[in-house]
Amino acid sequence: MKAQIQVISASIAFTIIAIAVLVLFTQIYSHTGVSRSYEIVYDIPAILRQRPYWTAKDLAHTIINTTGAVYCYVSIKEMDLANNQVVSEDKYEISPLTIPEEQLYIRSFVYSKGTIMGTVLTYYIKVGYK
């Protein structure tokens, strides 16, 4: 009789502990301050390497079409190293009318590359995701 009471009380205790752990992990811990963040990463240098020279408009449209971004700002500046003067500058922006800039996740990139003409091309790119 004592053995049966011990088995019954042990099974009741195990059931209570199992229910408490189940409630703890499914109802309480799942609503705590744990957050997961996912960074959107697209290979902008790979897009730049597709062509030797870009216009700001072509690069902005290619980035929008390739990455699925909703906002893109491209500024391309060519500097002459011998004279330290700006040879050319090209800017272009694709911006959604319905989404304010505060609601976008914006990443900025700056890339430079030299040319055989003694100039440096600097690409300043801002890409925004919803």
pLDDT for 67-118, tens place per residue? 888 999 999 999 998 888 999 999 999 988 788 777 888 889 999 998 888 8
CA angle, residues 26, 27, 33, in degrees to nearest 5? 100
Q: With a cut of 90, say whether residue 63 has pLDDT above it.
A: yes
CA distance 38 to 72: 20
CA distance 123 to 62: 14
CA distance 25 to 3: 33
pTM: predicted TM-score of the whole model, two decimal places = 0.66
Please check whether residue 92 is in contact with residue 128, taking contact to mean a CB–CB distance below 8 angstroms.
no
Please check whether residue 63 is in contact with residue 116, taking contact to mean a CB–CB distance below 8 angstroms.
no
For residues 8-35, average pLDDT: 78
